Amino acid sequence: MRTIRGLWRWRGNPLWRRTDRIEGWAALATLLCVLLGAPLVGVVSGTLCHQALLDAAREQRAQRKAVTAVVIRPVRPASFDTDPETAPVREGLSRAVAKWTAPDGTSHTGAVKTYLRTPRTGDRFRIWTDKQGRPVTRPMNRAAAATHSVLAGFGGALATAGAAEGTRQLVMWRLVRRRHAEWDRAWDKAGPDWGRTGTGS
């Protein structure tokens, strides 16, 4: 903003160069992108992401069902286990070998995660499965979809602002190189006569 005000005050100066005009327009375009373009991109990207996530959540709810599983025996976690699939303690969960009936009526048995802290044989708990009875994660809810959408919107806005500023920096780099080249040419032209009486008259 300071650059724009400074260049605007210089607009009528005879020393005003073409590169100065380009610099001013680049600064103005960057400001407009940050103030108008970035929020617009953020809103659009967040809205599109939210709609896509809601569609995905509806599909997940249609494909995934909650069924009741019965504990056969608990599974002790291995020491120093860093595998997220076999170290559910970090998620506040435990593991147990359980049996359950799939939505299609087939019977299944396997090791699954459970929210039971100390599962015992015969304990019942709910798990989510697909239509064939394979364990899956819980369907995404609206709160999670909204959170991801907000993050996507912020990401889109920041990316737009960063791209605008990066473009301005690239333009400034090119302008500085052009100015240096112009100064070198002017110096080469004036150099041989520098200091002589009547030079430039």
- Cβ neighbours of 161 (radius 10 Å): 19
As a whole number of angstroms, the distance between CA 36 and CA 92 comes to 44
Cα–Cα nearest to 1, from 36, 39, 27: 27
pLDDT in tens, the chain (201 residues): 555 555 555 555 555 567 777 777 888 888 999 999 999 999 999 999 999 999 999 999 999 999 999 999 998 865 545 554 444 444 567 899 999 999 989 999 999 999 898 899 999 999 999 989 999 999 999 999 999 999 999 999 999 999 999 998 998 888 888 878 777 777 777 665 555 555 454
Domain locations along the chain: 2-58+144-173, 65-138
Distance of CA 121 to the CA centre of its chain: 44
Residue 164's pLDDT is 92
Residue 177's pLDDT is 85
Residue 4's pLDDT is 52
Residue 92's pLDDT is 61
As a whole number of angstroms, the distance between CA 142 and CA 150 comes to 12
Residue 179's pLDDT is 78
Cα angle value 55/59/62 (rounded, 5°): 140
Distances (CA, A) of 182 to 62, 128, 173: 68, 70, 14
The single residue listed with the structure tokens 């500023």 is 165
Run of H or E residues at 158: helix 142-190
- Cβ neighbours of 52 (radius 10 Å): 14
- Cβ neighbours of 28 (radius 10 Å): 16
Residue 185's pLDDT is 76
pTM: 0.62
Question: Distance from first CA to last CA of the chain, Å, rounded?
Answer: 40
